[in-house]
Structure 1
Amino acid sequence: MEPFVKQVKEGQPVLFTIDTWLEQYKGLTAGFTSRQGGVSEAPYSTLNCGLHVMDKPEHVIRNRELLAEAIGQPFDAFTYGEQVHGNEVTVVSLIEKGKGRTSRESAIQAKDGFITQEKGIVLCAQFADCVPLFFYDPVQQVIGLSHAGWKGSVLNISMATITLMTHTFGSQPSDIRAAIGPSIGVCCYEVDETVASRVYAALHEISAAPDEQLSVIRGKENGKYMLNLQELNRKLLEQAGILSSHIEVTQLCTSCSSDDFFSHRKEGGSTGRMVAWIGLR
C-alpha cells in the first residue's frame, strides 16, 4: 500500500500525507507537497516552495502560507534550512522556530537534516528528485527530517540523523519509525561511473551482498547505471537499526509523475521545489 496518500480539497494545495502515521499518532503532521494548488507562474507553476529558484519571492511565500493553512498550523511554526547536499544534522530549538520561512538568509545554514522534541515546530526541507526521509520516535516524542540526494545518501545522512536522535533525546533505533518519500525512481535515475563508485563504496560499508547491490544499482550497456536511491536509503535505515516493519517506502517517482511533482532532472533544472514537512502539534 502506498504510504503517501494524495489529498485533494477544493481551494487548497494538493498534498501527499503519511496517512498510516497520522491515523496512529494523533498530534503528528507529516507529508509532502505536490506542484498543484499554488500561485506561481510557469515554469514554477504552481505550488513552488523554493526561494532559491528564480520564482518571485512573494509567490513562494504565499505558497508556503497556503501549505500552513491547509494543514492547520501557524505559519511562524514552519522552519527551513539552507540545504547543501551534505550529511550535517542539527537540533532545532524554539530559538530557531520559524527560520527561513520568508528568506534564505534567515534559514538554518548548511544543514540537510533536522530533529526536534519541541511541539509547535514544523520541520521543512525542499526537494525536486532527492529523497525525503521522515523520522518519528513515538516513545521519546522526537521528530526528524532529512534531505538525501545521492551525495547525502552515500554520506549516510540516515545514520547521522538517527545517531543525533539517540545521543540528544535518548531515542532507541528500534522505536523509530521512518518513511521514504516521493523522489526520482530507479525507472528514471541514470548515473555515471563517478556516482556509481560512491554508491558501491557505501554498499561495501554496510556489507551488502551481491544480490542486495543489484537491487540498488545496475550497470547498463551504455556504461551508465540505474540507481535506486529509495532502496539504498531503506538499506541504510535498516543498517542503522530501524526495524524493516517500521519503514514506509513510497512507490511514487517524481520524474514519472510530472503532473504531481517537480523534477529537476526531467525539467532540465528549470523547475520548482516541493516541501516535506513533519511537526508535533
Structure 2
Amino acid sequence: MEPFKKQDYQGPNLFVLESWNEEGTGLTAGFSGRGGGVGTGPYDSLNLALHVGDRPEDVIANRKLTAEALGFSLEDWTCGEQVHSNEIAVIGLEERGSGSLDRESAIQDTDGLLTNTPGVLLASYYADCVPLYFWDPVKHVAGLAHAGWKGTVSGIASRMIEKMTTEFGSRTENVRTAIGPSIGQCCYEVDDKVMSKVNDLGLLAPGNNMDSSLFYIDKGNGKYMLNLKEINRHIMIKAGILTDHIECTSWCTSCRNDLFFSYRKDGGTTGRMASWIGMRKR
C-alpha cells in the first residue's frame, strides 16, 4: 500500500506519510508536489527551493503556504544548503528558521537534519533524488536525509541512524524509516562511474544471496538502470532497522511528471519539491 497519500483539498499539493502523522506527538511528515503554488514557467507552481533561478518572492510565498498548511509558520521552516554530502546537523531552537528566507542563513554543506525540538519544521529539496525520513517514537527524534546517488553511496542513511543513537540514545529496533517519492529504477540510467561506487557498498558480496536485479539492471554498453530506493532500504536494514519499520513509496518523480518536478524529465530547468518532518508544539 502506498504510504504517501495525496491530500484532496485546495492549496499546495501535499503527499502525507499518513501512518506517521500522529495526534499524540503532533508529528507530521510528507512530500510536496508541483502544484497549488504561485510560481510560473518551468517552476509552475509550487517550487520550494531558492537555488534554481525562480523568483525568490514566489519561493518564499510557497514555503509560507506549505508551512501554514502543516500547522507551522514560515519562521519554523529550517533547511540546509545541500551539496550531496553525508553531513548531518542537529537542529535546536537556536537553529530554528535557518534558511527559511535565504540560502546564506541555511545550515551550510549539509544534507541531513535531525531534531528533538517541537516547533521546528525540517525541510529538504528534491527533483529526482531520494528523500529519507527517520522517526524514533520513543525518544521523539525526527530526521530527514537527502540521498542522491552520492549521498546514497556515502551512507547518509546509516550515518543518520548512528547520529540518532549517539546524540539522543535511540535504539535501532525503535526507529522507523521511510523512503519518499523519487526517480525509480524504471527511469534512472547511470554509467560505470556510478556503478563502481554502488558496488563498493558490498550489497552483493558473496554470501549475501542477493539478486542484483533488486538494485540494478545491466543494459549493456556501460549503462545500468539503478534502484536507489532499494539500495537505501538495504542500507537501513544493514544499519539495524527492522524490515517492517521501513515504508517505501511507489511514486516515481519522472513517470509522474504531472505531479512532481523531475530534473531528468524536465531537462534540468525545473523546480524542487520538499520533504518535511516536524513535531507541532502541543
> Is TM-score (shorter-chain normalized) higher than 0.5?
yes
Distance across 1 between alignment mates of 2:162 and 2:211? 24
| CA displacement at 1:206 relative to structure 2 | 7.2
The one-letter amino acid paired with 1:31 is G
- The 5 Å alignment of 1:12-31 reads 12-23=11-22, 26-31=25-30
Q: Does residue 2 in structure 1 map to residue 9 in structure 2?
A: no
Instruction: Describe the SS at the equivalent of 1:64.
Output: helix
In the TM superposition, 1:1-281 aligns within 5 A as 1-10=1-10, 12-23=11-22, 26-204=25-203, 209=208, 211-281=210-280
Do the aligned residues in 2 keep the contact of 1:203 with 1:213 (CA within 8 Å)? Answer: no
Identity in percent: 53
Amino acid across the alignment from 2:196: S
Q: Could you list the per-position Cα deviations for residues 40-68 of structure 1 after superposition, in whole angstroms to 9, with x for gaps in the alignment?
A: 11111000001001100000000000101
Residue by residue, what CA displacement relative to the aligned partner does 1:88-122 show, whole Å, maximum 9, x if unpaired? 11111111000101100010000000111111101
> Residue 204 of structure 2 contacts residue 212 of structure 2 at CA under 8 Å; is this kept in 1?
no
Change (3 A) 1:278 1:42: same
Q: CA deviation at 1:4?
A: 0.2
Deviation at 1:214, TM superposition (A): 2.5
Q: Work out the CA distance in 2 between the residues paired with 1:25 and 1:234.
A: 27
Q: CA RMSD in A?
A: 1.4
Instruction: Give the Cα–Cα distance (whole angstroms) in 2 for the partners of residues 105 and 274 of structure 1.
Output: 20
For 1:116-160, what per-residue CA distance to the aligned partner results, in whole angstroms no more than 9, with x for missing partners?
A: 111110111000000000000000110010000000000010111
Give the helix-richer structure, 1 or 2.
1
Q: How many angstroms does 1:266 deviate by? A: 1.0
TM-superposition CA deviations, 1:11-55 (whole Å, max 9, x none)? x11100001111576410111000000001111100000100110
Q: What is the alpha-carbon distance in structure 2 between the residues aligned to residue 189 and residue 123 of structure 1? A: 27
Shift of 1:207: 6.6
Q: Matched residues in 1 for 2:232 and 2:207: separation?
A: 13
Report if aligned partners of 1:123, 1:278 keep a CA contact under 8 Å in 2: yes
Residue 202 of structure 1 aligns to a residue in which SS? coil
In structure 1, how many angstroms separate the alpha carbons of the residues matched to 2:205 and 2:242?
16
What is the rounded CA distance, in whole Å, between the counterparts of 2:72 and 2:19 in structure 1? 20
Q: Which runs of 5+ in 2 are unaligned?
A: none
Deviation at 1:265, TM superposition (A): 1.0
Q: CA deviation at 1:221?
A: 2.8
**3-state SS of the aligned residue for 1:8?**
coil
* Structure 1 unmatched ranges of 5 or more: none
CA distance in structure 1 between the aligned counterparts of 2:72 and 2:278, rounded to whole angstroms? 9
Are the equivalent residues in 1 in contact too, given 2:204–2:210 (CA < 8 A)?
Answer: no
Letter matched to residue 232 of structure 1? I
Normalising by structure 2, report the TM-score: 0.96
Tell me how far 1:69 sits from its aligned partner. Answer: 1.5
Which whole-Å CA distance do the structure 1 matches of 2:215 and 2:107 have between them? 32
| Contact 2:111–2:146 (8 Å) recurs in 1 | yes
- Aligned partners of 2:227, 2:202: CA distance in 1, in Å? 12
Counterpart CA distance in 1 for 2:122 and 2:153 is: 23
Q: What number of residue pairs does the alignment pair up?
A: 280
The superposition leaves residues 214-260 of structure 1 with CA deviations (integer Å, 9 ceiling, x where unpaired) of: 21012113430010000000000000110000000000000000010
Whether the aligned pair in 2 keeps the contact of 1:124 and 1:277 (CA below 8 Å) is yes
Normalising to structure 1: TM-score of the pair? 0.96
